[in-house]
Amino acid sequence: MIQDDRLNIYTGEGLIFMDNLVKNTYDQDFYAWTMKSADLIRHGRWEEIDQENMIEELEYMGKREKRELISRLAVLMAHLLKWQFEPERRSNSWKYTIETQREDILDLLEDSPSLRYEIDKKLAKAYLKAVRIAARETGIRKSVFPEAPPFSFEKTVDDTFFPEQSKFR
């Protein structure tokens, strides 16, 4: 969609043309900035790239991937805790959530293998969130759950692993 230095943007009101998109576009129209930046990179026009904001966005993308991993681990471990501590309430919904989170975590790690770096620290951080989620959803006091993650990362993502009923309850 690029013609010379113009970026054609389709809006709900039709096609608009934006000439000479510069750094301030980042704050005014993020979508236009991303499209223009992609085009500049695609055509090797490195000197025209808004480097400061590009660096910021690239760093943010990496952090977002890490946050997604921790969030998915927290949801998964919360459901494993509920499965373990409330066996009488086990449901297909819980099982489906566990299976889906495992698949999504493994997909995320396949796409970004470096997220495995310091996985035990990420698991520990996610576990603190998981305990809060499980306590809130079950009414079980947080102090009843183990202080540290009761399952290794390998067990947590193992599609055959479902914890047995807890003896702590």
pLDDT tens, position by position, 25-78: 788 888 888 888 898 899 998 888 888 899 999 999 999 999 999 999 999 999
Q: What is the pLDDT of residues 95-107, one digit of tens each?
A: 999 999 999 999 9
Cα(112)–Cα(106) distance, rounded to whole angstroms? Answer: 10
Mean pLDDT of the chain: 86
Name the pTM for this structure: 0.79
The number of folded domains in the chain is 2
Cα(89)–Cα(2) distance, rounded to whole angstroms? Answer: 57
Q: Note whether 81 and 34 are same-domain residues.
A: no
Residue 97 has a pLDDT of 97
pLDDT band at 148 (very low <50, low <70, confident <90, very high): very high
Residue 167 maps to a domain: no
Structural domain span for residue 36: 2-49
Which three-class secondary structure state does DSSP give residue 145?
A: coil
Q: Note whether 67 and 145 are same-domain residues.
A: yes
Residue 7's φ and ψ, nearest 5 degrees, are -110, 120
Residue 148 maps to a domain: yes
Closest by CA position to 95, among listed 161, 4, 14, 19: 161
Residue 82 has a pLDDT of 96
Q: Note whether 66 and 138 are same-domain residues.
A: yes
Residue 149 maps to a domain: yes
Element (H or E) spanning 17, and its range? Answer: strand 14-19
